[in-house]
Amino acid sequence: MAASWYRKSYSQSWIKARKEPRLPPAPETPAPPFGELIRTLRLEDLEDSSRTLENSARVKELQSVTSFSWVDKSAHGPEILIPGRPPLWTPQVTPTQLKEDRGSYYRDKNAARYHKHPIEPAVVASLEANPALLAGLDVFACGSTLGNLLRFVRGEEKVFRMLAYKVQNTIFLVRRENSPTELIPNVRGYGHTFPEANTTWEADVKGSASHQRVIRYTFGGLNLAVRFEADGYIKSRNDPADSEKSSPSSSSSAIPSLDELTTALSTAKVTISTVPSSTNTTTTTNTINASPQLPKITRAGAPVPHTTLFDLKTRSIRTRDTKDHLAEELPRLWVRQIPTFVLAFHTRGLFRREDTEVQDVRAEVAQWEQKHATELAKLAALLSRVRDVLFEEGKEEEEEAAAGWGGAVEICRRVGWRDELEFRKPGGEVAGALSDEVMKWWVRAVSAGQGTQWADEGKDFTFTAHSDFGAGEVESWEAAEDADFTACSADHCGYCGRCSY
């Protein structure tokens, strides 16, 4: 009997494997060489300094800085839409059987599209939106780099490498993969096909491939800017995105800020052309032409409030009662301060509306932050220690370069080194955090303090800070909008979003 059952199961599995062949694994890319060791840091080295930070190691003064969307297949090379727009939840009504993910997916979407300076598009979008929000920044990171440092202080096993740059008084943390175009190996599941079937890029951002956000908050006495990918948004009954789209702050009359600024640099030229869009509105294209490596900037989309964003995961229905999926995701939700978590369960690729959970997780994120205060204090201490290392390493170079030090230090965590980080001189070829054009733009913006007065070759002129989000817009868990962005519960709505890694 047992042998018969075994033969039957084996036969069925073999037939299924023949019908759904696995894609060949992505070839491994050689890792860049390790450079000279500068110093090591053990987790226990953070104990003393972290004790004084437990009361301040929590997120405060959350603000939206900017957003942008990557154009999928642009004829102009790298192209971003500012402010862009996340994909909108447009759920399928009936149960849907989906095919498993099949395709090539980059580890780092920003590096894949903009190899040399992956964090630069976020910086450009931030400078263009409102340089005032960049004044006094201590750290400019992404969700991945900040998340990896959080994993380290929590004692989780995760190998990673990142580059830390000092530009004036700000430290930029940029992830370092084996290659900018490195692929995620052995992709399985429905984390891509499901959002593709249930979300829509709206008309003004049609052809987008990824929506990126930049937020700012204070944490442990430091001012942080964090870039991350937004999976999507849920439109409220009052449609705040549409109301903001027609507001004076997002009108084309404010667009010359980019023109004025780049003219001031005398290193780049901006041309502005008006192109009618499919919605009979005006789309303004701003392109920095002096250097072909800079991304093309197109004014398109509309600001979407941070409170309408969500993070998505798809999971097998068999794990619904055996795993706490939300608990696993709370650290990444905390880093990104995302208020809504969407969890879509499937039965062998069949997604039913009643098996999708849309949760307001602000209370859970706040509770997680309180519960993990000791670990978060170590994260704050670690960020301060990274700044110290960069400032020490950059002293001599900074004396020689008034614009700030563009050098880098690599932060590595290797296999089996659970409680230790290495700080090294970067091995292999490494570009600066920013291109020369954007570096000058950044330096002038930060030097101006509030980003309103500019001077170039003895000429004084005014830069009108343009922000679709508003320099004074502060978002917090306690002061959310009246709109119930989770009103579409699993019973009424279901899932929304695009999978991120």
Closest C-alpha to 497, from 327, 356, 350, 393: 356
Neighbours of 492 (CB within 10 A): 10
More confident residue, 157 or 10: 157
Residue 95 is which amino acid?
Answer: P
More confident residue, 240 or 383: 383
Give me 42's structure tokens. 């053990």
pLDDT value at residue 416 = 73
Give me 329's structure tokens. 């995701």
Is residue 481 very low, low, confident or very high in pLDDT (cuts 50, 70, 90)? very low
pLDDT value at residue 127 = 92
Place of tokens 């990142």: 162
Check whether 191 has a pLDDT greater than 80: no
pTM of the model: 0.75
Containing H/E element for 19?
Answer: helix 2-19
What pairs with residue 350 in β-bridges?
Answer: 97, 347
Residue 411 is which amino acid?
Answer: I
Residue 20 burial by CB count (10 A; 0-12/13-18/19+): exposed, middle or buried? exposed
Neighbours of 274 (CB within 10 A): 10
SS3 content of the chain, % helix, strand, coil (to 5): 30, 30, 40
Check whether 305 has a pLDDT greater than 60: yes
265-276 pLDDT, tens digit per residue, is 333 323 222 222
Report the distance separating Cα 118 and Cα 288, nearest Å: 17
Report the mean per-residue pLDDT for the chain: 74
Check whether 31 has a pLDDT greater than 70: yes
DSSP characters over 124-174? HHHHHH-GGGGTT-SEEEEHHHHHHHHHHHTT----EEEEEEEETTEEEEE
What pairs with residue 140 in β-bridges?
Answer: 172, 225
Is residue 179 very low, low, confident or very high in pLDDT (cuts 50, 70, 90)? low
**What CA–CA distances, in Å, run from 384 to 53, 140, 219, 223?**
11, 13, 11, 11
Report the distance separating Cα 263 and Cα 102, nearest Å: 46
pLDDT value at residue 229 = 95
Q: What are phi and psi of 452, to 5 degrees?
A: -115, -25
Report the distance separating Cα 118 and Cα 212, nearest Å: 12
- The pLDDT > 90 percentage for the chain reads 44
Containing H/E element for 4?
Answer: helix 2-19
More confident residue, 267 or 378: 378
